[in-house]
Chains A and B, each alone.
Chain A
Amino acid sequence: MNSSSSATAILEELMFTQAELPGASAASSTSEAVPVARTDCSVAVYEGQRKFKFSVPYFVRGLGRAELGLAWSPFCGLLRGHGIPVFSDVKSLEGVPASAVPARWACRYIDEPIDATELKSADAFELMCRSRDARSWCWTSEVGMMQLESFVFAVRMAAGGDTPIGVGLPLGCHDADIERCVSANVDFISLVARFSQLDANDIRSVIRCRHIAQQAKRPDLSIFVTAPLRDIQHAHKLLALGATAICVDELLLPLIPKPNATSTSLSANSGMLSGISIPQNRKPIELPELSVMLTKFRDELADRMLSVGAPSLADFNANTLRSCTERCCRITGVAALEL
């Protein structure tokens, strides 16, 4: 069995426990209301007032104007409508109507200056431990090991004091790197998959990250996971294992219409065409399948939470899971299933 299939297998070997159905007395005590689970989550700013809120614990990271072409603007509107944040730079959102701009988070790679506009207009800001040019993960020498706390504080103050500042680490990173971030009072840790397929260590690092945060008395530290998941049930399991929100790019990708190169270039109004007005008789692009899928994601998560007896995401934890195999139990630390 190769590493990728073993990672998928580990998630498959985890199963949710089933809670008892709410009894008649419980239902009557809430005036016969249908029980609902709260799927919203938020990122709090360390010693700050503001919170970065999500309606569902999902986000979009790798889908942008380049991937979507003319569908980008309606896609943004869809994300906003569903309360899903997008990882994007300011330039990509130019031309998107203000009413369609979703919550946005931005990042800075280690070999780049911090962009003031990106930082001050973002709802959350990530300091990636990654070089954009070299495409490698490392701690930047200018920040060093001992100065991360000062750096995070300086960036937070430069952003105005109420923007969550986090650090981007590779999924499967060493515990010491996570500990360094937690002790630097970051508002969130973003774990990003290095490869196109998950392995067992990637899953373990999510669990370790939550464990380290709890040990450091920061149980509410947000952990974002960007991983190539092709099944929403796997996202549910990662949420239960300790993630705060999961990237759903891979799940949405099959439903994204391919951008039409010609229409994109004509609409760009650039070069020799810049002085010519092009009639806009194109029908507005609609993304009904995506909208249905995003609604389904939310409803499935709410159903799952109710089925395990978790009224909120805070209650949706590893206690709601059971390991079906000894190997899975050993790797994840999740209690074994008892027959």
Chain B
Amino acid sequence: MTASESITLNCAELSSRELARKLFELKGDSAVRLLASPASRPPSSLCSGLTEHLSIEIDGNVGDFLYLLGAEANIEVHGNAGDCVGHSMVSGGVTVRGSVGHSFGAFASAGFLTSLGQAGDFCGRGLVGADVFVRSKVGSFAGFEMLSGTLVLGNGAGENLGTGMTGGVIYVRGDVKSICPGLRGVRLKDADAMRLSLLLVRAGIKANATDFKAFRSRQGE
């Protein structure tokens, strides 16, 4: 296949393995449109291990483990996504226009993950450097065992925010049901506000950074 190609693939017509092979064969800077049929089960494990600079748009809902261990590619989902989106992600970006399941961005080491809907429990679990943004509500245990990186929650947080967190920062706008004892609210510094503003712009959200509260682990004190 030639570089800078633009192709459309129908997920319902290909097996998961065939679909993965076709994506692996694509050269950098290609644009791909994946059609996920609403009639069939949302395809799981899509785009796992991709390392080319691809631009991928997915029409429809996708299943679990979207873009596991992915690098370089930018993915936009026009629908909802399952659990563990961006698991162990290395770089690139994922934008989900709908809601995502649990463990959104789990163990992601770099890149940017956005959900414009809600997220389930364990959002940003074990983050090791990536930036994760959720516009609407998230479940319990957001930022669980987070080591570094940034978690931005646009509409409050559920219970046990930051359990086991040892590094990184969580920004929350709205109410937090409960935070773990190892977490503390900190004053939003100028550097925080600037960084947060940039992340909000990147996510395409009009919001004021000063509306957010910052939470860090007490272990860093």
CB-based contact A113/B103 at 8 Å: no
Min C-beta distance of A291 to chain B, whole Å: 38
CB of A113 within 8 A of CB of B109, answer yes
Q: Does B84 contact A (CB under 8 A)?
A: yes
Interface of B is mostly: loop
CA distance A111 to B63 in the complex (A): 22
A112: chain B residues at CB < 8 Å are 107, 126
> Given A111-B145, A153-B45, A154-B68, A141 and B20 touching (CB < 8 A)?
no
Say yes or no: B68 contacts A114, CB within 8 Å: yes
Interface locus among A158-166, A229-237, A248-256: A158-166
Among A113, A143, A147, A157, the residue within 8 A (CB) of B48 is A157
Which residue in A116, A119, A147 is a CB contact (below 8 Å) of B64?
A: A147
B49 proximity list for chain A (CB < 8 A)? 154, 157-160
B95 is an interface residue with CB less than 8 A from chain A: no
Cβ of B48: which chain A residues have Cβ within 8 Å of it?
153-155, 157-158
Residue in B17, B70, B71, B126 whose beta carbon sits within 8 Å of that of A113 in the complex: B126
B69 interface residue per 8 A CB criterion: yes
Judge whether A153 and B16 touch: CB under 8 Å: yes
- Nearest CB of chain A from residue B189's CB, rounded to whole Å: 29
**Nearest-CB residue, chain B, relative to A159:** B49
Contact B107–A47 (Cβ < 8 Å)? no
Residues of chain A within 8 A (CB-CB) of B125 are 142
User: B103 to A141, Cβ gap below 8 A?
Assistant: yes
Given contacts A47-B17, A141-B122, A142-B87, contact A154 B128 (CB under 8 A): no
Contacts of B70 in A (CB 8 A): 158
Assess whether A52 is interfacial by the CB under 8 Å rule. Answer: no
Determine the distance from Cα of A116 to Cα of B128 in the docked complex, in whole angstroms: 14
| Shortest Cβ gap from A98 to chain B (Å) | 24
Number of A-B contacts (CB under 8 A): 82
* A150, B17: Cα distance in complex, Å: 12
Q: Does A137 belong to the interface (CB within 8 Å)?
A: no
- Contacts A111-B126, A157-B45 given: A116-B103 contact, CB under 8 Å? no
**Cβ A147 vs Cβ B83 within 8 A:** yes
Across-interface contacts of A150 in B (CB, < 8 A): 44-45, 63-65
Interface residues of B in 22-48 (CB under 8 A from A): 24, 44-45, 48
Do residues B102 and A142 form an inter-chain contact, with CB atoms below 8 A? yes
Assess whether B77 is interfacial by the CB under 8 Å rule: no
- Shortest CB distance B16–A (Å): 6
Is A161 in contact with B21, judged by CB distance below 8 angstroms? Answer: yes
Distance (whole angstroms) from the CB of A184 to the closest CB of chain B: 12
* B126: chain A residues within 8 A (beta carbon): 111-113
Chain A residues within 8 Å of B21, by CB:
161
Contacts of A161 in B (CB 8 A): 17, 20-21, 24
Is A113 in contact with B44, judged by CB distance below 8 angstroms? no
Give min CB distance, B52 to chain A, whole Å. Answer: 13
A304 to chain B minimum Cβ distance, whole angstroms, is 40
Please, how many angstroms separate the alpha-carbon atoms of A161 and B17 in the complex?
Answer: 8
Q: Which residues of A contact B45 (CB under 8 A)?
A: 150-151, 153-154, 157
The proximity string for B residues 113-127 relative to A, scoring 1 for CB distances below 8 Å and 0 otherwise, is: 000000000100110
Complex: A142 Cα to B141 Cα, angstroms: 12
Q: How far is the CB of A101 from chain B (nearest CB, A)?
A: 23
Contact A158 B103, CB 8 Å, known A111-B145, A153-B45: no
Complex contacts, B65 vs chain A, CB 8 Å? 147, 150-151, 153-154
- Shortest C-beta distance, B77 to chain A (Å), equals 16
Q: How far is the CA of A142 from the CA of B49 in the complex (A)?
A: 18
- Once the chains are docked, how many angstroms separate the CA of A61 from the CA of B50? 30
CB of A116 within 8 A of CB of B106, answer no
Contacts A153-B45, A157-B48, A161-B21; A147 near B69 (Cβ below 8 A): no
A158 (CB) vs chain B CBs: closest residue: B49
- Cβ of B90 within 8 Å of any chain A Cβ, yes or no, is yes
When the two chains form their complex, are residues B87 and A153 in contact, meaning their CB atoms are under 8 A apart?
no
A284 at the binding interface (Cβ < 8 Å): no
CA distance A159 to B68 in the complex (A): 11
Kindly state whether residue B88 has any CB partner on chain A within 8 Å: yes
Q: Give chain A residues whose Cβ lies under 8 Å from the Cβ of B109.
A: 113
User: Is there contact, CB below 8 Å, between B20 and A113?
Assistant: no
Residue of B nearest to A112 (CB): B107
- Is the CB–CB distance between B145 and A114 below 8 Å? no
In whole Å, how far is B108's beta carbon from the nearest beta carbon of chain A?
8
How far apart are the CA atoms of A119 and B87 in the complex, in Å? 14
User: Is A279 interfacial (CB 8 A cutoff)?
Assistant: no
Query: Could you tell me the distance between the alpha carbons of A150 and B84 in the complex, rounded to whole angstroms?
Result: 11
Q: In chain A, what residue has the closest Cβ to B16?
A: A153
Some 15 contacts from A to B, beta carbons below 8 A apart, are: A114-B68, A114-B87, A116-B71, A142-B106, A142-B122, A150-B64, A151-B65, A153-B44, A154-B49, A154-B69, A154-B87, A155-B68, A155-B69, A157-B20, A158-B68
A-side interface residues toward B, CB under 8 Å? 47, 111-114, 116, 119, 141-144, 147, 150-151, 153-155, 157-161
Please give 7 more A-B residue pairs, beta carbons under 8 A apart, in addition to A114-B107, A157-B17: A113-B108, A116-B88, A142-B103, A142-B125, A147-B64, A157-B45, A161-B20
Closest A-B pairs by Cβ, 3 of them = A158-B49, A113-B107, A154-B45
